[in-house]
Every structure is written in structure tokens, then in C-alpha cells.
Chain A
Amino acid sequence: MIRQTLRSLFRAPGLAIAAIATLALGVAFTTTMFSVVDAVLLKPLPFRDADRVVVVSDVNTKSGERDQVSAPNFQDLADATKTLQAPSLWITQPITIAGTGAAERVESLRVSPSIFTAFGVSPLIGRAFRDDDRAVVVLSHGHWQSRFGSDPAVIGKALRLEGVSHTIVGVLPPDFRFPDAEIALWQPLVLKDFEKKFRGKRMFQAVARVAPGATIEQANAEVRTIASTLAKQFPDNTDWLTDARPIEQSFVRNPRPLLLLFGAALLVLILACANVANLLLARAAATRSDMEIRAALGATRVNIIRHYFTEAAVLAIAGTAAGVLLAARMIDLVTAIRPPGLPTWNQLTLDWRALVAASVALVLVTLIAGVVPALNASRDVAGHAIRGRFGVAGERGGRLRRTLTAAQVALAVVLLVCAVLLVRSMLAVQDVDTGFDKRGRVAATLVLPDKLYNGQKEVALFTTFLDRMRSLPGVVAVGGVTALPLNRAGVDYAVEIYVDGFTPGQREPEADFRLTTPDYFRAMGIPLVAGRELQPTDDARAPRVAIVNETFARRYAAGREAVGLNVSLYCTRCDRFRIVGVVRDTRHKALDGPITPEIYLPYTQIPHGELTFVVRTSGDPMLIASAMRRELLRLDPDLALSNIATLDDIVARSIDDRRFNARLLAAFSICALLLAAVGLWGSLSFSLGQRRQEIAVRVALGASRTNVWRLVLTEAATPVLAGLAIGVCGAAVATVWLRAMMFGVTAGDPLTYVVVVATFGAIVLVVATAGFRRLATDDVSRLLADA
């Protein structure tokens, strides 16, 4: 049976290739998206007994807001718990490595020595931390490979972190990636005095392993009990509770976009199945006489069903195999465009789980693609319905084929509407006025180690570095700020402010607080709206001054001129800053987020060890970056610039998540559109083939080319119109889930629907025209003969 099927498919290679290619696309999309969903949402984390690792976090009982924990609270919890093992704190810290090659800025983790016990991981080489470890580091596997060339003799070697010598004691295994693949090295957490002291400073993340014999529920109950005791003891803990949750729940922030994309991939697979079912249906009609002969020779209905199922299964196996090969390439592509927001603890690979998913797809494909033609043809043949021998229509299975085409169109409409909405959202976000000029500008962050630089030493180095950069050829302006707009680097938080003459409402007024150098706004191209910019004379000895943005002025100046008002941060009696200028609003946190009040203070008046510099150049901005590195090397070889990027790139990266979702969904929808168009063409050409004689007779009876064109157009448009009607309704439902991902466009955006309907209108016209041309209506005798 299989050999006969293969032979008959080889005799119709066009159909076999179309079916296999169609299925390969559907299976590849589904398998790829399954691999992503599996890596992020389903696969256990790469730790031993990962389901027993919990994240401990504080929850505000009033707002429900989840926060990190403070060191003293967690220490009390660790001392009291009986259900948790190896309770450990961790905090990320960007750090400059030197001493074993060029200075490099990397991400590191400061961790409790017990954290490797909590995760159940042992170093690949060397050892884990001991309680008394101080100036030691454990390298991640990736960093060991990239910086040390996988040298096994690295253990015991020294490297300098922020100018302080540390000894490498271990290297972690390759599959341990926490919290993501970016972490280069781990240091033992030695709490600073202020970290030990304040219970209200919730600045650490915490993990632990549930002790043998205890359950997560018991651990959570115990943690809550201990926390409620601490809440009674310490005022900083009032309104705060602590809980322990499985680590998986804590790290995937929003699975909805991924699940939506997986759903979209499944729709493409179903569409591909419908397409193949349609092809097989057409083939079943074309080979009907063969089946009639088989039935006449004694084939039962089961025999005939088995014949069509075998055909579908052979195509499905070939399509799935091709799809899996294609998925391997697609996974590389997805890995390349993966946004930073997607967790990377599990590598994206085509493993046995993905192959199982592909096998499920295979069964699904065989069932969907095989059952329709098998049942239809067997019913027809078994009944020996030899009809219309002298008639001219007799289009068998036409209604079913049109239904399948309509279903394909409906699915494609749903995907296309969603994709157009997401792409338009992305374009709308891209068009948002950032408030600054991103052209010809490069940014780089410089962090000074606390131990070597503090106070006026920091100011002195930054000032010298600014002067050196200013003197580089091609540099038009240079400025620095603690947090650049739309950049993930830098200190960026809101502080309570007190403005002269402003009466706050229920909540104390807040503003995002940043330190800047003179010339920062000129370097960024942020226009001054009122007053003046910061000057080099606004130093530590000069009166305290501040610059605010338009939103600050509008909200807190309360109808007065903002310039000239005094503002203090944190408390009414704290230092007062006189507002000397107002600058234009910028999109600071996100292009699609709200603009918040901002206050900029001179870095000379509040020294800080980290600044991100912006250099405006008259030439290629990235060429300046290497000159900046050279100048810094001359100042201090242990310092390194990090996050070097043009402002164009920074703005583009800020919408990586959006772009990733839009690109993937656009790829799915274009594929769906093509499949639907191919399905429509297949259905129409088969239908016209069936109706060839009828059309010839109509022409013989006087039908003009226009009459025939109208007939062909009706044939093509009928299933499309039905599919559009169903698809538009489906899209209206599907877009409800997309609302959170939309920007500048509504779910019911009429233009989107017009574009989608027009696209299908164009497809109908193209397909109908091609079908009409193939009919060659000017030669009726040939049409009759062909028929």
C-alpha cells in the first residue's frame, strides 16, 4: 500500500511538493514556537530538583506590590526557618574586570555563599564559596570560555575587580544560567553596614531550597508566620508580608505574548492542514474513477479510507521531517532576534521534547488532512454515485473544498489582523517623539570603583575625561548623566520632592532624579524651554541649582514660573536646590510609557560613581567610541567603558520585545496569507477544471468573456467572503488578548480591517484573473475537448 502510494505521489509531484512544503512550514513554525515556550515556560529550570527551589519576596499588604527583601529581615528569617535550606541573597552588580587582559565591564552577582547549595549546583572545576570567602570569584562557563579560553589552569589565578585583586576559585557548569546568560562572574556577598542596618531597604533577591520532608506550602506558611512576627517587631515591616513561591512562578513575568505567538503558530499549522486536506480532496476527485474501479473490484469503504489515510500519512511524515529541519534553522533565527526580556536560563534547542511536539503535529496533520478527503471520497465511491455523465457540472466535493478554503481565509484573517495591529503599534512607537535628537550620537557608561574613587575624586576624573573627549576630533558636544533615556544602564529612581508653595495631595510629590554634567542637554539635543543650562561654575562651592522638565514645571509649579522656585529632595529640611532651567520632556523609561516629572542636578554638587556619557559627533559616532576607550585607558587602565551604543541603537533596543513579537507574528501571518492564497488558487483551479465543460457550454450558448470572468470571480470570491466574515469576527475576539501589546491603535481599528479586507480582495482578483486566463474562453472547442 505504501509503495503504491509513493508511486502515485511521484506521478503527481506538483501536489506532493506543494503539500510537503505547506506542512513543513506549519510544522516548522509550531516546533520553533514550542521550543521557545518550552524553554521559557515548560522546561524545568536547569537546577537539581528545581521544583523545590523557592523565591522569597516581600509583598505589600495594602497595594499587593511585590518587592525584594532587606538583608536584616532575611537574616532573621534564615535563623528561624526549619523548612528552608540554604536561604541565600543575591544582587546583580555591574563590575569592571582587569588584570587578565583589557579592562572589561561585565555583569556580576553578589551572592550568599550558600546559594550554590540552594540551586543544587556544583562547580565544573574548582570549588564553590565558603562562608569565610572574601576576595574570590566563581566564573560563569560562558565567561570562562570567552575571557580565559576555557583554560583549566584558571583556578587560583588573580583578576582585579574595580581595582581590587580577587582569586578565581571555581567555574560553573555550562547549563547553569542564572538569572540569565549575561552573568560573567559570582562574588561572595559581604554585607555593607547600611545593608545590614535598614529593614526598609528591600534591595536583595532571595532564594532557598525547601528542606527534605517539607512541602512548598509548609515553607510558605512558615515564612509568612515569621514575617508577621517581624512585622509586629519592626515598624519598617508594617504593611509588609513575606512569602515563598516556586522559582518558575517568579521569573516569567508575562507569558501571554509567548502563548499568543504559540497560538499563532498552531493556527498556521491548522491552516496548512486545511490546505493539504484541500489538495487531497481535489486529488480524490481527480482519482475518483480509480477508486470506482477498486470499489467495483471489491474494495470496501475501509479499504478506500485506508488508501487516503496512507496518502495523508506519507505526506505528513515527509512534511514533518522537512519541518523539523526547517525548525532547526528557525530556532537559530529566533535566538538571534531574541529580545533581552526573554529569560535565557534554558538554551533554545531542538531537543527530544521538540521532536515529540513535532510528532504530535504529525498525527494532527495526518488526521486533519486525511480524514476529510477519505470520508468524502469513500462515501462517494462506495455509493457508486456515477452521475452527471452527460451533464456538465458534477463538481464533486466542491462545497467541502470551499468550506476548507473559507476556513483557511478565516484563520489567515485572524493572524493578519493581529499582525497588522502589532506592526502598526510598533511603527507608532517608533514614531513617538523621544524629545531628544538621536542622530550622530554615541553613549558609553563609566562606573568608578568605590574603593578608589569617591567624592571629589569622582568629579575630578569625570571632568578630566569629559575634557579629553571634548578635544577629540569630530566631537561637537559631550555630556554625562546618571541614567540615559531608554537605556537599561544607570541609576534611575524616583525621589520624594518638596517644592516651595506646592501643596501635595494624598501622595507626596515625586520626581525622577538624575545627575548631569554641563552640556548634557546640548549633547542630547534636548531643547531648553526656560532659564539656563547647568554651567561648569555650578560646582560644589556654588549655590545648589536644578533643572526640571516640562512635566515637572507643569505639575508642581502650579501656574507659576518654575524657574526661581526652590525644591528639596527626600525631606523639607534637606538641601534646597534653586530651579534655574526647564528642559523639554523626553521619553525616559519607555517610548510607550508616560512622561514623569524629572529633576536634574549638577554631578559636581552630588558626586556619584557612575555616569553615562553622550558624545555628539560630526562623523561616524562608533568611530569616536574607540578614541574614548583610548583616552580612558590613559587615565586609568583598570577602568572600562560599558554599554557602548549609538542613541539610534538604544532607542531601537528599547522596543526589542515589541519588535520580536511583531516580527514573529508578521512572519506567521505572511505565511498564513500565502498558504490561504495558494489554497484558494488550488481550490479555484480545481473547481474551474471541474466546471470547464460547463463554462464551455455557457460560452457556446452566448456567454461573453465578462460573463465568464464574473463566474470565475464569484467562484473565487464566495469562500473568501465567507472566510472574511468569520475571520473578522474571530479577529475581534483574538485582538482582545492583544490589547496590552497595542500602542497608538485600537483593537477595532477600521484601517487595519480595511487593509486586511483589501489584501484578500487583491488576492481574489489575482487568483481569479489567473484562473480566467487559463480557461482560454476564446477557443470553446478546445475547452469542450479538454473537458
Chain B
Amino acid sequence: MPRRASRYGLRIVALGYLLVVLIAPLTMVFWRAFDKGADHLWHSLSDPNTVHAFKLTLIIAAIAVPLNTIFGIVCGLAIVRQRFPGAGIVNAIVDLPLAISPVVVGLSLFLLFGRTGWFGPWFQQHGIQMLFALPSMVIATIFVSLPFVAREVVPTLREIGDEQEQAARTLGAGEWTTFWRITLPAIRWAVIYGVVLTTARCLGEYGAVAVVSGHIEGQTETATLRVQDAYENFDLPGAYGISLVLAVLSVLVLVAMTLLKPKESSR
């Protein structure tokens, strides 16, 4: 039967590693945020620019998450249920945002919408500001959070097969009815899990948005950009304060992920 010593040894190694790399840093956020007292923390969190930053983060997420959810479901259905040539390529492109650095994303958008970019002049002519404004920040966030719903939906669809849908059709259900009443309920936990991951990614996005936004205080700063801004302006409690809020949100996301995972994988 398993050797006692090696089992405890492995356990200590794993837990020790997690303690040093994961848990200790996290507790610091909570500690440092309250460094100058709760009042100071509240004061710096209610700074108008900070409030605006949170609002902006939420607005961007409110646009990006639903769009990527719809995309994820439609794309997942297309890849799994329709055998079209190039399904593999589409699958690979969907995975691309996971492997690309956010700054590369930001730069490519910069090049696309900049003054000398492919679409820059067109938008400028029509009076739409892309860079250093909301539109490019939204597109950047959509790019980096694109894969999550699709990546949950695809394996789920593959696993459950299309027998239920075929049965529905033989019973007279049309395309939309079949989708709405059969397919969607079958993948709902995968979709929800994917939405949680997408939201987390949107809230935490930094690199791509940092490049295209121009960091304009009170206008194009998201919460994550504000953290950097505060830190560089030596407003440490401010930086930790925003981080605390973001960390609390992350823990909520983590709880949601933990609760949803068994449902998602016991399809």
C-alpha cells in the first residue's frame, strides 16, 4: 500500500509551493489596503476618477461578455455540428487569443485604427474616434476574452451528440425551436461556466487596453489601468484599495467557478 512518507512528502511540497506562490501574496492585498485605515480606503475608492474607472470596466464587460457568449455558442455549433472545410482553422483561430501577448493585441489594433492604419483614416473622416476611446478598448477586450465560451461549448456539444436534436426534428421541431429548447438547455452549464471565465478575463484585462486607451484619467482608464496609475503616482493605499475590490470580485468569480465546475463536467 502507498508509502506513508512519500505521500506526506509530496503533500508538503505541493502545499508549500502553493503557499509561497499563491496564498501569501493574496493576503498582502487585504492587509495593505487597510494600511491607513478603513476611512482612507473608502475615501480613495470614492475618488471620481476611480469610480469612473470601475464604471468603464463594467461597461466594457457588459458589451464584450454578451457578444463573446453569442459568438461562442454560434461558433461552437458551427464547428461541431457542421462539417465545413476549414473547421480546424477556425478552431485554431479561436484559440489564438490564448497564446498571444496582450500587448501584441493592443499594438495590432493600434496599427489598424491609427492615423496611418488601414481603417484609421476612414473612421477619422466619419468622426468616430477609435483609439484613445471606448471603441478600441471594447474591441481589445473582446479579442482577449474571445475563446472562453467557445472552448467550453465545443467539447460539450461533441460529447452530448446530436441525437436529441435529431429526435426533436422527427417530432416536427424547426431549427430555432430545436436550438432554443433542446440544444441550449443541454449546453447551459458549459455556457455559464464560459461566461464566468469571460467576465473574469474582461475585468482583469490590462495589456491590450493599456496600449489602445492612452491612459486618459477620468476618460479612458479602466480599473486595472487605474491601479498602475495610482501606484506610479505613489498613491499606494489607492492602488491597494482598487486591487482589493478587484480581488474580492475575483474570489467571487472563483467561488462561481468552483460551484459550476462539477455541473459543467458532469454533462
Task: Report if A and B associate in a common complex.
Answer: no
Binding site for A on B (CB under 8 A): none
